[in-house]
């Protein structure tokens, strides 16, 4: 139990008793007076169990906030690299050798996975939901990037299990400080990061925006097959999200709205191709769609 | 979603129990209630038995390692219960209850790894709620004719404030709640001032 002491009242009494002397002293030697004040506070503080308890709380809270900040920083790096990967992947439609781009993207995503490994390390032994807000933006962006790459290669949707299977970080690489490690030591279970179903859903919802962009730009490049494939794929994703409706995480409802708009644009593109595609020379197709998609979507903002 | 429904049901029973404890303790603000403080504290402690049972029930409604996934569901009521525990202990001893004691009253852990626990921020929020209650109690003590209690409350709250100043808070709900503490400090200082200039307050000393 902690006792209250009238520490503050004593301080007040002391300073009011000799105001003149205090002023003269402070003019003569300001540093000594400041140190004296510090000592007084420290003396009062250290004698109080209440304050001692709060020093412990201070450390606990600082530790938690520091970890949160570290995770936010790593998450930002993950977001930036994932976004750059997505920009890179958009170039597959306009470049003759798509495979180079895909390989480069794979390398970039490997680097992102290393960063996610750092997140996993920070979360070791922690309740990951306590820090979820710190790293969820980065993870959603990663899901978007990796599922985009997967679609381009396989024309399908990567599953959550497939994503998580690649987020296993072996601890065998730790070098034995005593000497050289002859065999890789598996120090306990491997460190993993598990993307939550919620983050997966939100990342896939964002993926649909990128797929819409890819659809429009592929038409502009004279590719008239991709839009129809994408339309079908997007519709399946949209129908899946519609089924979830608002029973999922609340951000899904907002993204569902954007998804409907993306699907609308893609369906319009397919319609235009079907109705007028044969009439228009391929190099002019881009103009047809640039007029339709010229209006910036107010929801999307600047990415 | 299944977890959520079950959790909400138990949280509702906890909220009811908290309201009952509050009703018992609120009566100390009435002039007649002052003399009955010990019996009210005893009654409140009895009611905490129910709370311990209900929290025991709550623990079973979700996987133990996912405390923070569902934390928001019970955070409000847990803070209120922490406040009520702190208030009871203050009324009994005029000291600040430690986190471990609150956890014991509620029948839960202090350390996350050991099970359903009391987060330090929820404990601190409960303490701050109590500070507001004490500023009200200071005012009502004077009305009831007790002129020494406000001085003791003043010392207590000032020390609490010194403690909170040590914390590096982020712009979160705890910080906002802490911002209210200075108004409690001010209110109590005004009560003490009113008493001193009228010569009504004697030096309280240490209890």
* Model ipTM value: 0.91
Query: Each residue of A129-172: pLDDT tens digit?
Result: 999 999 999 999 999 999 999 999 999 999 999 999 999 997 65
For chains A and B, what is the number of CB pairs under 8 angstroms? 88
* Mean pLDDT lowest among A99-113, A182-196, A215-229, A266-280: A182-196
Q: Which residues of B touch A9 (CB under 8 A)?
A: 155
Identify which of B96, B112, B162 has the shortest CB distance to residue A127.
B112
The length of chain B is: 207
- In this predicted structure, the answer to whether residue A120 has a pLDDT above a threshold of 50 is yes
Q: Is residue A128 part of a domain?
A: yes
Instruction: Compute the distance between CA of residue A130 and CA of residue A132 in angstroms, rounded to an integer.
Output: 6
* A299 and A214 in a common domain: yes
Instruction: Compute the distance between CA of residue B86 and CA of residue B69 in angstroms, rounded to an integer.
Output: 26
Q: How far is A65 from chain B (nearest CA, A)?
A: 8
Domain count, chain A: 2
Per DSSP, A101 falls in state H
Nearest to A203 by CA among A243, A163, A233, A235: A163
Identify which of A48, A54, A129 has the shortest CB distance to residue B66.
A129
Distances (CA, A) of A86 to A117, A153, A207: 20, 14, 10
Tell whether B3 is within 8 A of chain A (Cβ): no
Q: Is residue A217 part of a domain?
A: yes
Q: Is residue A8 part of a domain?
A: no
Write down the pLDDT at residue A283. 64
Strands A168-169 and A191-192: antiparallel
* A211 and A297 in a common domain: yes
Residue A272's CATH number? 1.20.58.200
Contact flag A127-B120 (C-beta cutoff 8 Å): no
Domain that residue A226 falls in: 196-303
Contact flag A9-B112 (C-beta cutoff 8 Å): no
For the entire predicted model, the pTM comes to 0.79
Contact flag A58-B167 (C-beta cutoff 8 Å): yes
Cα radius of gyration (chain A): 30
Q: Is residue A289 part of a domain?
A: yes
Instruction: Compute the distance between CA of residue A15 and CA of residue A35 in angstroms, rounded to an integer.
Output: 15
* A148 and A205 in a common domain: no
Alpha helices in chain A (DSSP H): 7-17, 19-28, 30-46, 49-90, 98-122, 132-154, 160-165, 197-220, 226-244, 251-276, 282-292
* A129 and A210 in a common domain: no
Share above pLDDT 90 across residues of chain B, in percent, rounded to a whole number? 89
Q: Is residue A191 part of a domain?
A: no
Q: Is residue A175 part of a domain?
A: no
Write down the pLDDT at residue B132. 97
Task: Answer with the residue of higher pLDDT: A273 or B142.
Answer: B142
Q: Is residue A94 part of a domain?
A: yes
* A200 and A283 in a common domain: yes
Q: Is residue A75 part of a domain?
A: yes
Per DSSP, B117 falls in state B
Tell whether B91 is within 8 A of chain A (Cβ): no
- B133 in a labelled binding site: yes
* A227 and A289 in a common domain: yes
Show which of A168, A188, A222 is a domain's final residue: A168
Residue A77's CATH number? 1.20.58.190
Distances (CA, A) of A243 to A238, A248, A252, A254, B98: 9, 10, 12, 15, 49
């Amino acid at each position: 139990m902690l006792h209250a002491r009238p520490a503050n009242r004593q301080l007040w009494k002391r300073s009011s008793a000799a105001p003149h002397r205090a002023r003269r002293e402070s003019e003569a030697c300001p540093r000594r007076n400041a140190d004296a004040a510090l000592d007084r506070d420290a003396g009062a503080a250290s004698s109080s169990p209440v304050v001692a308890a709060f020093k412990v709380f201070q450390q606990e809270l600082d530790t938690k906030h520091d970890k949160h900040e570290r995770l936010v920083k790593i998450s930002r790096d993950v977001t930036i690299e994932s976004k750059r990967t997505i920009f890179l992947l958009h170039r597959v439609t306009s470049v003759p050798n798509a495979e180079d781009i895909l390989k480069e993207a794979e390398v970039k995503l490997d680097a992102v996975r290393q960063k996610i490994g750092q997140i996993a390390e920070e979360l070791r032994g922690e309740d990951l939901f306590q820090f979820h807000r710190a790293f969820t933006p980065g993870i959603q962006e990663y899901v978007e990037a990796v599922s985009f790459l997967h679609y381009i290669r396989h024309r399908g949707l990567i599953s959550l299990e497939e994503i998580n299977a690649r987020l296993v970080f072996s601890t065998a690489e730790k070098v034995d400080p005593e000497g050289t490690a002859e065999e890789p030591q598996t120090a306990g279970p491997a460190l993993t990061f598990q993307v939550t179903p919620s983050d997966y859903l939100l990342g896939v919802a964002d993926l649909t925006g990128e797929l819409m962009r890819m659809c429009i730009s592929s038409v502009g490049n004279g590719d008239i097959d991709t839009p129809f494939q994408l339309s079908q794929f997007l519709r399946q994703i949209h129908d899946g999200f519609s089924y979830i409706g608002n029973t999922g995480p609340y951000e899904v409802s907002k993204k569902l709205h954007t998804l409907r708009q993306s699907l609308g644009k893609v369906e319009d593109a397919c319609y235009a191709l079907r109705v007028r595609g044969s009439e228009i020379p391929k190099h002019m197709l881009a103009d047809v769609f640039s007029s339709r998609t010229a209006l910036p979507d107010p929801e999307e903002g600047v990415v | 979603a299944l977890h959520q429904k079950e959790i909400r049901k138990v949280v509702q029973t906890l909220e009811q129990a908290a309201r009952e404890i509050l009703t018992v303790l609120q009566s100390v603000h009435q002039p007649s209630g002052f003399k009955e403080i010990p019996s009210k504290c005893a009654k409140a402690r009895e009611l905490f038995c129910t709370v311990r049972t209900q929290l025991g029930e709550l623990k079973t409604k979700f996987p133990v390692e996912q405390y923070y996934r569902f934390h928001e569901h019970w955070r409000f009521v847990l803070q209120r219960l922490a406040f009520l525990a702190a208030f009871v202990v203050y009324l009994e001893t005029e000291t600040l209850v430690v986190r471990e004691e609150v956890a014991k009253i509620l029948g839960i852990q202090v350390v996350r790894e050991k099970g359903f626990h009391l987060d330090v921020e929820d404990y601190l929020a409960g303490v701050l709620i109590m500070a507001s209650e004490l500023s009200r109690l200071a005012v009502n003590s004077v009305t009831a004719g007790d002129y020494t209690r406000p001085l003791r409350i003043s010392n207590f709250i000032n020390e609490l404030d010194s403690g909170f100043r040590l914390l590096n808070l982020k712009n979160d709900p705890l910080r906002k709640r802490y911002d209210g503490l200075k108004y409690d400090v001010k209110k109590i200082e005004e009560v003490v001032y009113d008493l001193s200039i009228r010569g009504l307050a004697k030096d309280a000393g240490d209890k």
